Amino acid sequence: MAERRESKKKGAAKGPARDGATTEARSAAPTAPARLAVKKTYKLYLGGAFPRSESGRSYPVTSADGTHLANASLASRKDARDSVALARKAFGGWSGRTAYNRGQILYRVAEVMEGRHGQFADQLVAARGLTRAEADRIVSAAVDRWVYYAGWTDKFAQVIGGSNPVSGPYYNHSAPEPTGVVVVFAPQTAPLLGLTSVLAPVIATGNTAVVVASEAAPLPAVDLAEVLATSDVPGGVVNLLTGGVGELGPHLAAHADVNALDLAGTGDLATGFEETAATTLTRVLRPGPEADGGEDAWLDTDPGTTRMTPFLETKTVWHPVGV
């Protein structure tokens, strides 16, 4: 019994020594190196994919205080031509969908965007120097605007079209139809709510779009493209170019397969683009007073139907009655 107690004491005495050795070994283990963040590469959005510019060019994007945020693709003339071809290819399928289905898809855009609310708010804080409360308000307004135009998809035809009073043995009815491929120049100082306000009515009415993002703050637009890519919007319905308005604008304004231009983000270049578009009889929506007013200007603008009607054409049907 005495020997057994002695062995237990010896074993107990060894315990602390083992624990101490383990502690020393842990403290001597090398610490893990600090993790480097994965830097995001901002690309174009063409035909449902995210390619780099065919030119291989990019340009630096900085925050409101001049801090480097990322590099964005600098789209070329060929990228612009490709985007128009992809929008034209997608037009038949998108315009041929039921209005109800288009509304469901636009509502899905709002759902996905709501889930990424924090990411969009962070982008606005960095890009425009907004406070977090201001950025949250703008993101919420952008989500609400997608919902607003989702509700219009199956209603604008009833409001804008209708039966016409005629004198004769025939029935006369007018109905709005999408015009085709619309080039949208996003507002330069409103990269999210302004962009939503000019893009959503274009695709809600069955058109397809080529978007030239805000040159100074393109990152919210690319994030929006990622939302579109995961929201059942068919590839080619929206095509996003990042880069210089002065470089891309003349080629898009002169393109014979472009049906309409929204010049909201063209500033002093608007008149020149309008004159160029006249050579191909392309319809033009001139910049409004809210174009350069920042996100708050678009927040205070009643969307109504004013941004839908310029991109619609009216088809009138005459049908004999009582013959």
Question: How do residues 127-186 score in pLDDT, each as one tens digit?
Answer: 888 999 999 999 999 999 999 999 999 999 888 887 888 888 887 888 899 999 999 999
Greater pLDDT, 76 or 302:
76
- Could you list the residue range(s) of the whole structural domain that residue 189 is in? 58-320
Residue 223 belongs to some domain of the structure = yes
Judged by phi (left if over 0) then psi (alpha if -120 to 50, else beta), residue 25 lies in: alpha
Q: What is the pLDDT of residue 23?
A: 53
DSSP 75: -
- How many structural domains are present in the chain? 1
How far is it, in rounded angstroms, from Cα 76 to Cα 247? 8
Residue 15 belongs to some domain of the structure = no
- Asked whether residue 15 carries a pLDDT value surpassing 60, the answer given is no
Residue 130 belongs to some domain of the structure = yes
Confidence of residue 37 (pLDDT cuts 50, 70, 90): confident
Q: pTM for this structure?
A: 0.85
Tokens matching residue 149:
């135009």
Mean pLDDT, rounded, for 250-275: 96
How far is it, in rounded angstroms, from Cα 229 to Cα 40? 17
Residue 114 belongs to some domain of the structure = yes
DSSP 310: G
pLDDT tens digits along 24-36: 555 556 677 888 7
Cα R_g (the chain), whole angstroms: 28
- Asked whether residue 206 carries a pLDDT value surpassing 50, the answer given is yes
How far is it, in rounded angstroms, from Cα 204 to Cα 94? 10
CATH number at residue 241: 3.40.605.10
Tokens matching residue 48:
């449902």
How far is it, in rounded angstroms, from Cα 150 to Cα 100? 9
Q: What is the number of other CB atoms lying within 10 angstroms of the CB of residue 4?
A: 7
How far is it, in rounded angstroms, from Cα 318 to Cα 27? 89
Residue 248 belongs to some domain of the structure = yes
Residue 151 belongs to some domain of the structure = yes
Residue 19 belongs to some domain of the structure = no
Residue 199 belongs to some domain of the structure = yes
Mean pLDDT, rounded, for 209-218: 96
Cβ contact 203:231 at 8 Å: no
